[in-house]
Amino acid sequence: MGGMFSPEEVERYARHLVLRHVGGPGQQKLKAARVLVIGAGGLGAPLIQYLAAAGVGELGIVDDDRVSLSNLQRQVLFTTEDVGRPKVDCAAEAVTRLNPNVKVTAIALRVNAANARGLVAGWDFVADGSDNFPTRYAVSDACFYERRPLVTAAIGAFDGSLTTLRPFEKTPLGTPNPTYRCLFPEPPPQGAVPDCAESGVLGALAGMLGALMALEVVREIVGFGEGLIGRLLLIDALSLRFHYVAYGWDAANPLNGAAIAAAEPRL
């Protein structure tokens, strides 16, 4: 069962190694995987911890922010002593403390449309826990063009959402999988959606969504269960209800829509 694992790794991952659908082969996939995490905030904090604990081989952590005292209500990756330090440095140190087998790369950068493609191209999987629409669109567009699976989530004061995107692949019926722009064609007008500084956010809700992101990334890497491609998971923390919204490819979308396909030269 150990395969290429050291005795320490066999003990560390013992509960995965005996787990149906994961086992030795699945743990090897985790060890070989390179995952880029966008954002080390409310969603990124639990996401990074669970991916590190799971034995993902390499984690890239992208964030340009510093730890503030108001972060600590939900960003459980950090301590009071970290206030004022770059989040990526604190996160990288936390990963190494948790699992020294994980290679971690700290990337102190704000992601935008100009740098996103070059950033995601070097990784196998991308998980976006950013807190703003420009970053989400930049990352999702980049993952489409670079053919990288993307797990993306968002939270509000008492609600959250999660989905997985593989729009560079097709459904069993032969239509493309949906893009992020099929789900959300346009960002909302600036100021229409209040940020957490204005509206607040329930700390444990961020933990729940971040952990679900990690679960979905692990499922994508190992390859088991029914994924969230074409399904948006919605969580209402006030009534603790979970439900799904199905969505599909929009022929009008600007990435792989019908107009794009019609313009492609025939070989």
- Region 112-119 average pLDDT: 96
CATH number of 33-263: 3.40.50.720
pTM of the model: 0.94
Q: Convert the pLDDT of each residue in 135-166 to its tens digit.
A: 999 999 999 999 999 999 999 999 999 999 99
d(CA 57, CA 242): 31
Q: Which residues are catalytic?
A: 196
Q: Show Cβ contacts of residue 107 under 8 Å, excluding neighbours closer than 6 positions.
A: 60, 61, 62, 63, 88, 119
Q: Convert the pLDDT of each residue in 81-101 to its tens digit.
A: 999 999 999 999 999 999 999
Task: For the chain, give every domain's residue range.
Answer: 33-263
Tokens 């209800």 -> residue: 241
Tokens coding 241: 């209800």
Tokens 């209402």 -> residue: 236
- Which three-class secondary structure state does DSSP give residue 29? helix
Q: Convert the pLDDT of each residue in 36-73 to its tens digit.
A: 999 999 999 999 999 999 999 999 999 999 999 999 99
- Region 248-266 average pLDDT: 79
